[in-house]
């Protein structure tokens, strides 16, 4: 199994669950449909595992502060979390 494959699978499932109508193309990229100015656009997302980890971002800060990072044991997104993301998207007019 390739490095990061479990993480990529978990993240892909989360994206597909959160964004209605999103789908995977050729097992390599995620497409997220979005209405922008009355026109349908698709945002492409490609996930790759970094060869070397770097410091930075909220995840690194959370780890430094002792907060557990996202792990494959924390895969399930609750309906409340999905709704919170949808509410945020609506508030940002995305």
Query: pLDDT for 31-42, tens place per residue?
Result: 999 999 999 999
What pTM does this model have?
Answer: 0.58
**Cβ-count burial of 79 within 10 angstroms (0-12 exposed, 13-18 middle, 19+ buried)?**
exposed
With 90 as the cut, is the pLDDT of residue 54 above it? no
pLDDT band per the 50, 70, 90 thresholds, residue 73: low
């Amino acid at each position: 199994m390739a490095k990061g494959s479990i993480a990529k699978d978990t993240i892909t499932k989360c994206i597909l669950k959160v964004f209605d109508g999103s789908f995977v193309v050729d097992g390599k990229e995620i497409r997220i449909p979005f209405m922008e100015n009355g026109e349908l656009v698709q945002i492409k997302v490609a996930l790759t595992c970094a060869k070397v980890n770097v410091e930075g971002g909220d995840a690194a800060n959370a780890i430094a502060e002792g907060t557990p990072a996202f792990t494959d044991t924390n895969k399930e997104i609750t309906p409340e979390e999905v709704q919170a993301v949808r509410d945020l998207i609506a508030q940002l007019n995305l």
